Structure 1
């Protein structure tokens, strides 16, 4: 059997898929949770211990640490799979010689650098107005010039909704805390993106691509914490799939004018746009395209106007990975490998809905026993999780979206009865 090394922040989903393909699997991840597959050679950055804080991911994680941890596995590896938090561009210095073993995109700087990507594609696709700044004075000038526009400020690389601030000129000049927050981001990022805020519904496409073609396998309603009630927090927290009337109607203040024909047209437009941008970007394997279906306010209330804005491309496996596998009854890692070798999957038909929600600790807590059906990425019992850090993931396959959301609420009640706030 071939030796397959999988690297990323959380490799559990891809390791599970790889084991079904009869690889000798090795893993290097940030997390290793109690639901991580047994009997897999693995190394991890975070060592969870009872009554000990897990610390802050953003302070402790780096792609370099993943590579250093897995150094002993790389020589014997036949192939390498990358998930979130690491790219082929991180294979530098002593690790550069292993880059050729990656199955997937070996270089992604042209899309992971969001401003570079914007400059390349903004004359071909509908995109929000976008700027790159290196100090707060530049930001002030932009906001003053476009004082009737609101913007999102976010890192030029990475993110997942972290360090994202929604503001306009009035808020900027009146709230010193906003300015201080942006200055703090600039201390670690050097440059940040200033992007026109598009009001609407977050949607996403999962695309498989070969070197000559691309195929959208799933469109999804993307969820941020802002969508589910945590105003102004744009961190990714889940998804509902497939994209249909039932999924698009959830967690939105917009009136949905679409009928079944309208939703079909929306999916077709998304497919065409996403496939075109993936081919244009010369990406292979599994990739994600994040979009916004824009909305506007008028005398009839908040309605969607059907303009699809391209926000960014994720040249890697997406957070929708396990939901896609469940809804389409496929092994997504297998299809990724086939696509990289020139073979794209045939026509697919979703057989259910799937909902994913990542829960974040709303205060510093000690975790009890969360070994509950339907929960994933479960930390060890009695570990301490800091405020705003990921707590656990819920994944629910269901025939009915409303019923699935009701079952998720029930799971949240069980979670809340097994976590214990800690006073600082």
Structure 2
């Protein structure tokens, strides 16, 4: 199996545990990615995924493996790349369905049509908001790093300028404005086939967690299961929505859980960042479930969690270089996304992930905080 994405470690390691021979093309070539693969290739640093020749470059890289793959699994950033000239099956949803849900403005129109709860989305960042605060974010990018909140007109103008400065390839049409909704961030992980959708886990999301990052809305990891009171309702909403959208395989829906109930934020038509915690908490192998979904097979039912599990992502407070001694010390913790010797993590970029399990959320959070503090001390004292 070949996996292509900007970061594929959780996908290829899941596939390896399920007994598949894994290959990958990604941007990081982390040590644990390499350990789980027969062979890996690193994406060119200068590659613009939106350029006309990007698909041709990737196809040449795929052919250079000189392997007859069983299938290709697109990960984040490559869900709609045209690889149909290759002779192998593509285990992904219909590109038209993916493009619709990845455009948060188009998705909001669909959610309104289905009368499903979601924050109000404006047609343009140049519209006059009915009320503040509002959230400005990319229409077709995730991760939260570029998200900005605005509480007045001046902050709104500043937020738009700041995002365009940080991502020069964007125009104002690449941005969207959304009602800012207070609540707990959560997600539902699902497996879908043509005529059946099964929610396999509800997850708490760690967003802008102060002991992991200085970025207010950056994705920092997950805790599985989500322990709030709306978990069952989110599962029902998610199964209905994914059925309507016609997505297949492993997919996820992000929510904000308000005092009045859950509201849909976005849909991820691919493997999600919660993959580690879902697998650790439930015992389900999501890669194997994804492959079998394209054979018309789904898990029989929602699987009760066996334990609590957490993953957190440590972001760099300043530019740091990871040397062999730092790597050796970090490996004493339960870590993932392990960088190569000599890796430079720039300010506000991810360094490494920490994984933990426990009897409940409190146990997991305490362990993640402890291990994260140990790793940050190692990084900043020794690098």
Aligned partner of 2:68 among 55, 63, 76: 76
Q: Distance in 2 between matches of 1:229 and 1:12?
A: 20
2:81 maps to 90
> Within the alignment, does 1:352 sit opposite 2:307 as a pair?
yes
Q: How does 1:267-416 map to 2 (within 5 A)?
A: 267-294=231-258, 304-305=259-260, 307-347=261-301, 348-367=303-322, 368-369=326-327, 370-416=330-376
1:115 maps to 105
Summarize deviations over 1:387-414 as a string: whole Å, max 9, x none.
0110000111111322222222221232
Residues 1:12 and 1:355: Cα distance change in structure 2 (over 3 Å)? same
| Secondary structure of the corresponding residue to residue 199 of structure 1 | coil
Query: Contact conserved, 2:192 with 2:298, CA < 8 A, in 1?
Result: yes
**By how many angstroms is 1:346 displaced?**
1.9
Unaligned runs of 5+ in 1: 47-56, 249-262, 295-303
Q: How does 1:201-280 map to 2 (within 5 A)?
A: 201-225=184-208, 233-244=216-227, 248=228, 263=229, 266-280=230-244
| Secondary structure of the corresponding residue to residue 130 of structure 1 | coil
Residues 1:386 and 1:340: Cα distance change in structure 2 (over 3 Å)? same
Query: Contact conserved, 2:311 with 2:368, CA < 8 A, in 1?
Result: no
1:62 maps to 49
**By how many angstroms is 1:67 displaced?**
4.6
Query: Contact conserved, 1:10 with 1:31, CA < 8 A, in 2?
Result: yes
**By how many angstroms is 1:223 displaced?**
1.4
Number of residues of Structure 1 aligned to a counterpart in Structure 2: 366
Query: Contact conserved, 1:7 with 1:28, CA < 8 A, in 2?
Result: yes
**By how many angstroms is 1:74 displaced?**
7.8
Query: TM-score, structure 1 length as denominator?
Result: 0.79
Summarize deviations over 1:43-93 as a string: whole Å, max 9, x none.
0137xxxxxxxxxx8x76737365543232487222111222211x211xx
Unaligned runs of 5+ in 2: none
Summarize deviations over 1:175-234 as a string: whole Å, max 9, x none.
x74353144367422221111101111111001111001110000111111576867621
- Root-mean-square deviation (Å): 2.6
Q: Distance in 1 between matches of 2:93 and 2:241?
A: 15
Summarize deviations over 1:248-298 as a string: whole Å, max 9, x none.
5xxxxxxxxxxxxxx2xx22211110001100100011100011111xxxx
Q: Distance in 2 between matches of 1:67 and 1:132?
A: 36
1:252 maps to none
Query: Contact conserved, 1:26 with 1:40, CA < 8 A, in 2?
Result: yes
Q: Distance in 2 between matches of 1:363 and 1:132?
A: 37
Which of 1 and 2 has greater Rg?
Answer: 1
**By how many angstroms is 1:40 displaced?**
1.4
Query: Contact conserved, 1:30 with 1:61, CA < 8 A, in 2?
Result: no
**Structure 1 stretches of at least 4 aligned residues deviating more than 4 Å after TM superposition:** 65-68, 226-232
1:6 maps to 3
1:25 maps to 22
Residues 1:365 and 1:183: Cα distance change in structure 2 (over 3 Å)? closer
Q: Distance in 2 between matches of 1:30 and 1:186?
A: 18
Residues 1:167 and 1:290: Cα distance change in structure 2 (over 3 Å)? same
Q: Distance in 2 between matches of 1:98 and 1:22?
A: 24
| Secondary structure of the corresponding residue to residue 208 of structure 1 | strand
Residues 1:6 and 1:231: Cα distance change in structure 2 (over 3 Å)? closer
| Secondary structure of the corresponding residue to residue 92 of structure 2 | coil
Summarize deviations over 1:87-115 as a string: whole Å, max 9, x none.
1x211xxx332386111314111111111
1:189 maps to 170
> Within the alignment, does 1:142 sit opposite 2:133 as a pair?
no
Query: TM-score, structure 2 length as denominator?
Result: 0.87
